[in-house]
């Protein structure tokens, strides 16, 4: 994902889990192939800090991306304020207001992010009692990132539900191996 602020480009890519893929992309947004900009308005105090209650989405994309964009703006670790904006905020008696586009682009997701996405899709297919579909998603996950222990564990569950203990044992062993490597 990219955050563009007054001509400044900040790249952010950290693998995440649960319903978030990458640091900011949501499962639902990836599932629907949503890309674009969320326009966010915010105000800086005289010290150059974002005033959290001032953050507003002016133009959103939906699917959880608007909330993620607000989090990006409110997080001092991801927002880089250009010196000119800081100077303006320090000179102003009132909080200085700015607008920034937060750009969501699927091409910015890492192979591990895509692998995590396909693991979630596989987990969903298993929950719907569709082990054949789950296997195809877990296979896609392993194609994106070979050492994904969660994908291997999912493959083991899917093969077990299909009554194929030999294949399940192989993937259980790989899942354990990759889980140990992470620790």
Q: Compute the distance between CA of residue 152 and CA of residue 145 in angstroms, rounded to an integer.
A: 11
The residue with tokens 């192979």 is: 111
Long-range contacts of 175-178 (CB under 8 A, 24+ apart): 175/149, 175/150, 176/149, 177/149, 178/147, 178/148, 178/149, 178/152
pLDDT of residue 150: 87
pLDDT of residue 68: 92
pLDDT tens for 17-42 read: 224 556 788 889 999 999 999 999 99
HSE at residue 112, side-chain half, CA atoms within 13 A, is 10
Q: What pTM value is reported for the model?
A: 0.71
HSE at residue 33, side-chain half, CA atoms within 13 A, is 0
Give the sign of the dihedral formed by CA 107, CA 110, CA 112, CA 113: negative
Question: 2-108 architecture in CATH?
Answer: 2-Layer Sandwich (3.30)
pLDDT of residue 21: 57
Equal CATH topology for 2-108 and 111-182: no
pLDDT of residue 180: 65
Q: Which of 64, 72, 70, 78 is nearest to 27 (CA)?
A: 64
**Ranges of each domain in the chain:** 2-108, 111-182
pLDDT of residue 164: 93
Vertex 110, ends 70 and 66: CA angle to 5°?
A: 15
pLDDT of residue 20: 52
What is the CATH number that goes with domain 111-182? 1.25.40.10
Residues of the chain with pLDDT under 70: 1-22, 180-183
The total of other beta-carbon atoms located within 10 Å of residue 15's CB is 16
Q: Compute the distance between CA of residue 101 and CA of residue 5 in angstroms, rounded to an integer.
A: 7
């Amino acid at each position: 994902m990219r955050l563009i602020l007054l001509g400044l480009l900040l790249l952010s890519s950290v693998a995440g889990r649960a319903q978030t893929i990458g640091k900011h992309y949501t499962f639902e947004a990836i599932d629907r192939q949503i890309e674009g900009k969320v326009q966010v308005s915010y105000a800086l105090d005289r010290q150059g800090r974002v005033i959290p209650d001032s953050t507003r989405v002016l133009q959103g994309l939906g699917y959880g991306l608007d909330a993620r964009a607000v989090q990006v703006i409110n997080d001092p670790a991801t927002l880089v304020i250009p010196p000119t904006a800081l100077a303006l905020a320090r000179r102003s008696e009132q909080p200085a207001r700015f607008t920034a586009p937060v750009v969501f682009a699927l091409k910015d997701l890492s192979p591990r992010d895509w692998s995590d996405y396909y693991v979630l899709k596989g987990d969903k297919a298993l929950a719907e009692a569709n082990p054949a579909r789950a296997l195809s998603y877990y296979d896609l996950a392993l194609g994106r990132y070979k050492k994904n222990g969660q994908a291997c564990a999912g493959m083991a569950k899917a093969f077990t539900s299909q009554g194929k203990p030999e294949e399940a044992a192989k993937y259980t062993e790989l899942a354990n191996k990759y889980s140990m490597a992470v620790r």
